[in-house]
Chain A
């Protein structure tokens, strides 16, 4: 089947420029600012209070993130004319990009935790990143595959890419895809500490003295053009392609040469079958920071030479909506095509752009753009470009959307709890000795077992001058990758540069987020206020910096920081994406990487997963039902489960790339399946129906009968509800009698890493021959499964 072109049939938008598409577009097209004084929290210690703040009243009993997302999703669904009651909801996916998620609620729980030592476990658990997707799925009863991407400021551009992969492969009929981020103290204090905020509303590509934060949500309804035509839907634009790349250059600054950004744009156009000559307008990343505004024009010159199309930054109107920016700007780009107006860059104050670009100054310009490229770049050196084109517009060459090559596994490594590397993991399985025998005291509960990774040991393989900048998540990830290279051989310089990285984690950099909050919260505001001596700018600056914010800790609060560190350590320059989707993260990351390699958009991708559970994460989990009190797990035995830190690295390559460098093939990729159910944050269905759908989809994709599965790598963890649901799912899928490997019995529950650690266990154990099925679940009701085959 030829992959379909993807129709954009519905748009939803809420930003500082207006709380729906019409208001927002009218403001954007006329160059009317959406930036105003931030009244959501105390800004007296920040460099500025300017922000693209949403003015519409939001419900008090719902996190601002969820409320903004719901508004935009509702509008997109309504605008698409899609009647959800007439479609197969199992085939409607939810793909969301967010950098912060429900950060306002998480901040409130951290405030009580830091100041009063009191932890509201349920609220903390319900404000984790994956919950954004779970909230949308439950609110709109969407039961297809679900994933949250979190590449900081590129998050929702990456989400559009993920959605495209699902539709090109034919996994789903519709995708509700977008991005959301609320204004939050974390990002406000963080960017302020970096000195990255403009004292005035930002003027990207003209004065370029800093960025202005914004907030909002942008969502789209995406579907194959044939399906849109069949139901008579109006197609606003097509999502033609996307490209992702990593700089491997710096934690927060872009590569000043612009090479990575150029590669992302080139790949996006190539995927769409288009060339730079086809581009009529660029919606720039255009943050307004000196670093971005110097490097992005260089990237454009590398790609376009002297003939650069009009290129503007709508962040001058909306502010930087962080993880929402990619989707918000894709909505704006779609409107540019559909309404025939190029959005302007405002706040130029009459100055020409020093870069010499046509930045469409001050007010919208009538035009008829056929092809638009929208850029989103992020911390960690992540570059994302998305191509939107007029319906039916095709290019000179064939799009690169179809699977054309086989994908194989050429390296695996992992660590979990006390087992610090792959060899130690093998010993754990050989000796049947669990790696979660550390006991830690949790207030109000007592001593509970946990699988702790020895962070000093994990840091040992990394140069200390690099290691000191890395947080636990990054160190675990780097340790797994280092172990993989030690076991399977290091790449040459050229192989490393062509390597991509897909990073996944259940819940992200918990330590860094809490440490950053602690710094801000513990710097007594009263004392900071006392330093205000007058209205002169020096005093304002001095006041603003006495916030306890650590810039380098802030750099590690983005979920993709670990990917950035690993890319810098190994000089990766290829594809990059980051997922934060709880327990399905590993399998979904493997799926994404395999799909990208299969269609020839990458030769090799290192899939890295890591999970850390510092004190307050353990306290959160131990307070919820189903946590074991003794260091003993029996999957299916109602013992309760035990949290373990862990990480794993899986190297995927095309078979041709593996052959070219003489690499041993450990397994080949056979298929994936993902599913969801609308049960709400923190819940899973006990009937196993949705879970079973993921298993059966993976079997179908792998073209295998259940009886052919040699090993089921089980997600059973000793948690009674999880084990019950999975047993039902296996029964519903004809897998109940297949041999089972239950790694969590010895490794504990690592959530995000679990699926990949299961694959490590299966591929490093002696007894696995034939097809291996990985089963995984995430709280909130989403499931993912994969089939690998050791017969290569």
Chain B
């Protein structure tokens, strides 16, 4: 692997990590969760026993993502709420498609 390609991958990984961390902080801040961003893992479920979110929290996240990233999560896009990784994947897919 060339150094340039390696650097590119590393840059993208760092950007992704930063975005995941930002999304975690935004969710915690917006929903008033009593946890530190560092203890939320990228693949931890947002609902059920994960972060114990409910349908109102879903709406908060829809509004938050729309305001922050100009990306719309519709009723059919429930996979976006699987985890932080799933949510960021969804945002990046939509950004790439735009």
From B73, which residue of chain A is reached at the shortest CB distance?
A545
When distances are taken between beta carbons in the complex, the residues of chain A under 8 Å from B62 are: 195, 545
When distances are taken between beta carbons in the complex, the residues of chain A under 8 Å from B52 are: 465
User: Chain A: residues with CB nearer than 8 A to chain B?
Assistant: 193-195, 250-253, 464-465, 467-469, 523, 531, 538, 541-542, 545-552, 555
10 smallest CB-CB distances across A and B, nearest first, come from: A551-B59, A468-B32, A464-B34, A545-B66, A552-B56, A542-B72, A465-B52, A552-B60, A545-B63, A551-B56
When distances are taken between beta carbons in the complex, the residues of chain B under 8 Å from A194 are: 59
Within 8 Å by CB of A195, from B31, B59, B67, lies B59
| Contact present for A545 and B33 (CB under 8 Å) | no
Which chain B residues numbered 26 to 64 have a C-beta less than 8 Å away from chain A? 30-34, 52, 54-57, 59-60, 62-63
| Contact present for A195 and B66 (CB under 8 Å) | no
Q: What are 27 sample pairs from A and B whose C-beta atoms fall under 8 A apart? A: A193-B63, A195-B62, A195-B75, A250-B54, A251-B56, A252-B55, A465-B52, A468-B32, A468-B33, A468-B34, A469-B32, A469-B56, A541-B74, A542-B70, A545-B63, A545-B66, A546-B67, A548-B67, A549-B63, A550-B30, A550-B63, A551-B56, A551-B59, A551-B60, A552-B31, A552-B59, A552-B60
Q: Could you tell me the distance between the alpha carbons of A113 and B65 in the complex, rounded to whole angstroms?
A: 28
| Contact present for A555 and B63 (CB under 8 Å) | no
For residue B58, give the distance in angstroms from its CB to the closest CB of chain A.
Answer: 9
User: Chain B: residues with CB nearer than 8 A to chain A?
Assistant: 30-34, 52, 54-57, 59-60, 62-63, 66-67, 70, 72, 74-75
A interface: dominant SS: loop
When distances are taken between beta carbons in the complex, the residues of chain B under 8 Å from A253 are: 55
What 15 new A-B contacts, CB under 8 Å, besides A468-B33, A542-B66? A195-B59, A252-B56, A464-B34, A468-B31, A468-B32, A542-B70, A545-B62, A545-B63, A548-B67, A550-B60, A550-B63, A551-B59, A551-B63, A552-B59, A555-B56
Q: Could you tell me the distance between the alpha carbons of A545 and B33 in the complex, rounded to whole angstroms?
A: 23
For residue B27, give the distance in angstroms from its CB to the closest CB of chain A.
Answer: 12
When distances are taken between beta carbons in the complex, the residues of chain A under 8 Å from B30 are: 550
| Contact present for A552 and B57 (CB under 8 Å) | yes
From B72, which residue of chain A is reached at the shortest CB distance?
A542
Q: Could you tell me the distance between the alpha carbons of A385 and B76 in the complex, rounded to whole angstroms?
A: 35
For residue B95, give the distance in angstroms from its CB to the closest CB of chain A.
Answer: 13
Most buried by A among B31, B59, B67: B59
For residue B15, give the distance in angstroms from its CB to the closest CB of chain A.
Answer: 24
Evaluate whether A546 and B66 lie within 8 angstroms (CB atoms) in the complex, with A468-B33, A468-B34, A541-B74 already known: yes
For residue A475, give the distance in angstroms from its CB to the closest CB of chain B.
Answer: 12
Evaluate whether A531 and B60 lie within 8 angstroms (CB atoms) in the complex, with A250-B54, A468-B34 already known: no
Q: Could you tell me the distance between the alpha carbons of A468 and B34 in the complex, rounded to whole angstroms?
A: 8
From B59, which residue of chain A is reached at the shortest CB distance?
A551
Most buried by B among A547, A549, A551: A551
Q: Could you tell me the distance between the alpha carbons of A615 and B10 in the complex, rounded to whole angstroms?
A: 49
When distances are taken between beta carbons in the complex, the residues of chain A under 8 Å from B75 are: 195
Q: Could you tell me the distance between the alpha carbons of A250 and B31 in the complex, rounded to whole angstroms?
A: 16
When distances are taken between beta carbons in the complex, the residues of chain A under 8 Å from B31 are: 468, 552
From A541, which residue of chain B is reached at the shortest CB distance?
B72
